[in-house]
Amino acid sequence: MDFALSVDCLKVYYFSDLGIIKAVDDVSFSIKKNESIGIVGESGCGKSTLGTALLRSVPYPGKIVNGRIILDGEDITKMSDDEFNKKVRWKKISMIFQGALNSLDPVFTIGSQMKEILQQHCYSNDYSEIIADSLSSVLLEPSIIKKYPHELSGGMKQRVSIAMSLLLNPKILVADEPTTSLDVMVESQIINLLKKLKKDRNMSIIFISHDLGVISEVSEIIAIMYRGQIVELGKAYEIYKNPKHPYTEKLVSSITSIKNKENKFEFLREKSLDLTRKESGCKFYDGCPYAKEKCRDAPPVINYKNGFIRCWLYE
Ligand code: ATP
Ligand code: SF4
């Protein structure tokens, strides 16, 4: 199978003063070329940590402690920082970080911020052409290069951050909450833009969101994350129509009963999970209506259709 990216038994821990936080705890999935996968789960389940691990940008005191991330046949976890920065970052995989639209530097123009990225990562006689191409692919006029971030709307700033991530034509894009803090109209424009870019550029996209409505609009495959693990992975419509894992079942039933006025669904955001809590068995044991004695041991990962379920019920 020709995968764009394969993640295998990935573990990312934060070594904090409070103890070891297993933010990503044995995650495996693959994504094909030109495919999109949505990583969904409530706040604190480890989505952003997973995204940053794919870019080798896990913040301190976090560390990749186990697993492989195979991109173009190479395990990027084994590369030196220098090799990763030269060969992979921006060129093969790029990321729109959470809150990207607010992280543009207020004292520099858009053009100079884009040029700086290019100067650090590639050589060209004509950076302006690359910048203009990238801006036009997100439907922005070239004149925007003279503007400062405060002169742009939220939607325009998000388009700029997408254009920046595409400057070196990566084949994989990680988009972490790309529509958070945008109003509904702009959110839908950004979603349509990302769908168009995926098609036009034959890209694979990894969408990260707590909002199943957004994810289901843009992803063919959905991975449901709970306390650092993917508990169910499958085709988006299968997960909606027939959720298998008890946690997915709970989420889908809760969102369908709180359909909001824009006809989108949003997870009930729970307070940040305590990932330092000790447990050896199923992480959903306390919340699961079907829990049995066996569930005190770690549940098996059962292949189901084109995905999997991590639960003793399907043994
Ligand atoms: P959100 O949707 O709120 O961004 P998330 O699902 O993306 O949440 P992460 O941000 O990956 O979750 O966080 C996973 C867990 O890792 C959190 O519950 C937090 O306890 C821990 N964590 C994240 N960043 C750090 C850090 N810099 N230092 C210590 N612990 C961290
Ligand atoms: Fe529930 Fe057991 Fe499945 Fe965990 S393994 S989700 S406790 S049935």
- pLDDT tier at 256 (50, 70, 90 boundaries)? low
Print burial letters for 161-190: b (CB count within 10 Å at least 16), e (below 16). Answer: bbbbbbbbebbbbbbbbbbeebeeebbbbb
- Please name which ligand lies nearest the alpha carbon of 275: 1
Residue 19 alpha carbon to ligand 2 centre in Å: 26
Q: Which residues pair with 207 in a beta bridge?
A: 38, 175
Assign 162 a pLDDT band (cuts: 50, 70, 90): very high
Query: pLDDT tens digit string along 55-84?
Result: 999 999 999 999 999 999 999 999 999 999
CA of 199 to the centre of ligand 1 (A): 31
Report the separation in Å between the CA atom of 232 and the middle of ligand 2, taken as the mean of its atom positions: 12
More confident residue, 269 or 248: 248
pLDDT of residue 272 exceeding 60, the answer is no
By DSSP bridging, strand 172-176 and strand 93-96 are parallel
- Cβ of 14 closer than 6 Å to ligand 1, yes or no, is yes
284 lines ligand 2 (CB under 6 A): yes
pTM assigned to the model: 0.91
Query: Which atom of ligand 2 lies nearest, measured to the CA of 247?
Result: 6
Using CA atoms, how far apart are residues 120 and 238, in angstroms rounded to an integer? 43
Q: Is 231 close to ligand 2, i.e. is its CB under 6 Å away?
A: no
Q: Which atom of ligand 2 is nearest to the CA of 288?
A: 1
- Per the CB < 8 A criterion, the answer to whether 22 and 63 are in contact is no
Q: Are 7 and 29 in contact (CB under 8 A)?
A: yes
Residue 252 pLDDT: 87
Any atom of ligand 2 within 6 Å of the Cβ of 267 = no
Q: Which of 284, 302, 308, 315, when mutated, tests ligand 2's pocket best, judged by the most ligand atoms within 8 Å of its CB?
A: 284
Residue 118: enclosing H or E segment and its boundaries?
helix 110-121
Q: Which residues contact 183 (CB under 8 A, 6 or more apart)?
A: 154
For residue 75, which phi and psi values (nearest 5 degrees)? -85, 110
* 14 Cβ contact list (under 8 Å, min separation 6): 20, 21, 23, 49, 61, 62, 63
Strand ranges across the sheet with 62-71: 19-32, 3-16, 62-71, 74-75
Atom of ligand 1 nearest to the CA of 276: 20
Mean pLDDT of the chain: 89
Nearest CA to ligand 2 atom 4: 282
Atom 17 of ligand 1 has which residue's CA nearest to it? 44
Strands (E), the chain: 3-16, 19-32, 36-40, 62-71, 74-75, 93-96, 172-176, 204-209, 221-226, 229-235, 301-304, 307-310
| pLDDT value for 98 | 87
Identity of the residue numbered 206 = I
Atom 16 of ligand 1: nearest residue by CA position: 23
CA distance 156 to 272: 31
Question: What pLDDT was estimated at residue 20?
Answer: 95
Q: Give the residue carrying structure tokens 């989420």.
A: 251
Side-chain-side CA neighbours of residue 133 (13 Å)? 11
Ligand nearest to the CA of 311: 2
Ligand 1 pocket, residue 17 CB under 6 Å:
no
Q: What gap in Å lies between CA 227 and CA 109, rounded to an integer?
A: 40
Query: What's the rounded Cα separation, in Å, for the pair 50 and 24?
Result: 6
Cβ of residue 51 lying under 6 Å from some atom of ligand 2? no
Query: For position 46, what pLDDT does the model report?
Result: 97
Q: 272 CB less than 6 Å from ligand 1?
A: yes
Cα–Cα–Cα angle for 88, 189, 205, nearest 5°? 25
In this predicted structure, the answer to whether residue 301 has a pLDDT above a threshold of 60 is yes
